[in-house]
Amino acid sequence: MFGALRPRLVALRAAILDKPQPAALAGRFDEAAQLALSRELAGLFSYDFSRGRIDKAVHPFCSGSGSDVRVTTRTDPVDPFNCLYSTIHEVGHASYEQNVDPDHLLTPIGRGVSMGVHESQSRIYENQLARSPAFAGWLLGRMRDTFGDIGITDPMEFARAVNRVSNGYIRTEADEVQYNLHVMMRFDLERTLISGDLAVDDLEAAWNDRFAADFGFAVDKPSNGCLQDVHWSVGLMGYFPTYSLGNVYAGCLHAALRADRPALDAELARGDLSGATTWLRDKVQRHGALMSPRETIKAACGAAPSEAPLLDYLEAKFSALYDL
């Protein structure tokens, strides 16, 4: 699956980076206003505050299940997208746990079935829904209401800003096009570590060589390189691929959602997420771990998981945004 993803992602990235970069937001953004808008968005995406809460932390995360599912987010005075989209991402995780059938709670099937399926919920909330041009147009209005002049007034230019593709070191901050390339690099390095073909002492050099080959520029310091993620240092081997599996699953779910709800863009343009979140609740979230991950996605989409819907979605979306 990763082998099939790479060529089209690399080609798409090359075409995009050859185009002019979209405009960036201007100004500074009040922290209290960011947090207030992030809570509004959480409610819009059906987060149940009677069974959870949102707080500020250094790193966004979601924790808990059933009747106690909590979320953290973070703020940046010059980048409100960090707060808003981190919150939506974590609400995708939280909604999965909150929407498991109550009859399953306190049993082995009373939680999300896998990290891959969990990531599909956070990624479809954050990307296919919240970064869609349709929803971005609605969000532009709310941001201007909240912050005043943000340097952008045109909805399509705002959608380009929300979906900016640019070079960077950090996986968690990567755009949709390049995110999976970060994961695949880690996956390959991880396999060489596990097999014994790569010594831990040689990991930094191997990372730097592979990063330069894959992304075209050099790592400047270890915190932007092999030390940026905690996974290996705390023993979470085999974790990185779940992020790309989640993106693949989200691509499948998004295609099925659009087939079932042909008016989805009109709903998103009104800031109405109820149809999309209800569909995901009924098709995926309520089942918890009743089925295997593959069975869960196949039951929701009517077909086995495939990378093709994700690639088709990315190519169509970014071709329109960057006039490819």
CB 324 within 8 Å of CB 171:
no
Rounded to two decimals, the pTM is 0.95
Give me 168's structure tokens: 């960077």
Q: Taking all residues of the chain, what is their mean pLDDT, rounded to a whole number?
A: 96
Q: What pLDDT band is residue 59 in, cutting at 50, 70 and 90?
A: confident
Q: What string of DSSP letters covers 128-158?
A: IITTSHHHHHHHHHHHHHHHS--S---HHHH
258 pLDDT higher than 90: yes
Q: What pLDDT band is residue 302 in, cutting at 50, 70 and 90?
A: very high
**Catalytic: 90?**
yes
- Considering 31, 40, 90, 157, which one is annotated as catalytic? 90
The 10s digit of each residue's pLDDT in 116-170 is 999 999 999 999 999 999 999 999 999 999 999 999 999 999 999 999 999 999 9
Q: What pLDDT band is residue 88 in, cutting at 50, 70 and 90?
A: very high
Q: If you search the block for the tokens 């500020």, which residue do you land on?
A: 56
Percent of the chain scoring above 70 in pLDDT = 100
What is the distance between the alpha carbons of residues 241 and 232, in angstroms, rounded to a whole number? Answer: 13
Segment 191-220 mean pLDDT: 97
What residue ranges define each of the domains in the chain, with the CATH number in brackets? 2-167+241-321 (1.10.1370.30)
Half-sphere exposure of 225 (CA within 13 A, CB side): 18
The 10s digit of each residue's pLDDT in 18-45 is 999 999 999 999 999 999 999 999 999 9
So what's the pLDDT on residue 172? 87
The 10s digit of each residue's pLDDT in 232-251 is 999 999 999 999 999 999 99
What is the distance between the alpha carbons of residues 319 and 59, in angstroms, rounded to a whole number? Answer: 32
Instruction: Return the H-helix or E-strand segment holding 66.
Output: none
Helix (H, G, I), strand (E, B), or coil: what is residue 109? coil
What is the distance between the alpha carbons of residues 317 and 211, in angstroms, rounded to a whole number? Answer: 26
So what's the pLDDT on residue 165? 96
So what's the pLDDT on residue 293? 97
What is the distance between the alpha carbons of residues 166 and 22, in angstroms, rounded to a whole number? Answer: 10
87 pLDDT higher than 90: yes
**Cα distances (Å, whole numbers) of residue 253 to 98, 109, 168, 217:** 19, 21, 28, 34
Q: First and final CA of the chain: distance in angstroms?
A: 25
